[in-house]
Structure 1
Amino acid sequence: MMRKLAALLAGLMVAAGGVYALAGPAQADDCGGTYTIVVGGTGDNDSNAPYWSGNISQRVGYPAQPIGVNARQGVNELNRLIRDHRNACPGQHVKAVGFSLGAAVVHTWVTENWETFDNVNAVLIADPKRAAGPGNAGAAAHPLVAPVVGAPLAGADNFFGDVPVLTLCTNDIICDINASSGLPGYLWEGKHGNYNFNVDVYTDDARGQWFNGVYIP
């Protein structure tokens, strides 16, 4: 199964990268409430796929194909947008929400920036960099996949410092490589999209894991 998954990811990487546009600076507002920024999964180059809903302040544009160099571009663009907004609205809470490849982008950003950024939380939906426990680690950590995708996408960890992070994984091989649904669940049964993409349901202090429908603090 993993050889098929590795081949699938390799095929996605060499597919047409698509057209994406970098977002401009965040528009000025009253700096009230929560600044919610989203990062879409593979193929969602402007983070504007129809699965997203709720009060979204900013969408990250990046070449959303599962390869490390593209994930790095996503991390850099996310960092630019968040820090530009923090300069404009220093007291506003930031909530970063990522799905699949976008979750890996948000994951990496938190790991790299938690020591220098506060008043922020993250929601990682179907994160391929999810560390094991419960279940197995995400697909990006598998030895047949990691060399194909490359850093910073490759590997799994939970190095989030003191940033509140909520992880969601439900019978999905992208975030749990041993998920019972297997490759058929990913390709044909819709398991990878079986999540709530309304960003408003996730609070500004959400943390822990929802794993196969069970909450683990």
Structure 2
Amino acid sequence: MTKSQNGHPPKQRVLVNFILDRSGSMAAVEDDTIGGFNTYVRELGAEQNVEYRFTLTLFDTRVEARYVGEPLSKVAPLSRATYVPGGGTALYDALGATVRQVEQTLTHVEKVITVIMTDGHENSSREWTQEGVQALIAGKEKEGNWTFVFLGATPDAWDVGMSMGVQQGNRYRYQQGQVQDVLCSMSRATNMFSRSSERASHSLLRSTGVQSDAIEEEEGSIEAVPKKN
């Protein structure tokens, strides 16, 4: 393994894209979502062996790119003033816009992890369709270093993730009142995967060994993508 000037292995360079639902139904878990997101970012920032870049997309009827490929030090904690639920769920537009913006600004990274967190169904997109996001995800996965994770709070969350083309092992369901527990577990999995030699994962929790009572996995999850020589 190549070593840096101080004799230690160079840090892994990883881009995390976090696509967060801000629609009206999220008002019921506003504080929990704010706290969970802030915990996720804080735990990533504490990881010393990874150089993270971070994208935050908030979506309701509209899509807001709050940060695109920024160092974690520039990502401010969410608050009630900066996370205000309302409107519909432009889920497809949020994913499509995020990937396209990242493509324009992306510098060299070893891995790209895209986390989608929502409590509802697509109902407001104007630019992207279901077929469009399916093709988008499939195309990025073929590049070999993109991982997409879907976290859904609806009873049919696995079906929603499947409709977008997210890998079976990365489609997770959670209860609305457990957002902080969910994102705490996801932060551990993100850090462990980011430190690993794997370039992509089709089952992030299983491939890192992270277990969580707050997250329900779909049966038949697939293990990590094999390493490429």
Q: Structure 1 length normalisation: TM-score? A: 0.42
Q: Structure 2 length normalisation: TM-score? A: 0.41
Q: Which has the higher helix share?
A: 2
Q: Which has the higher strand share?
A: 2
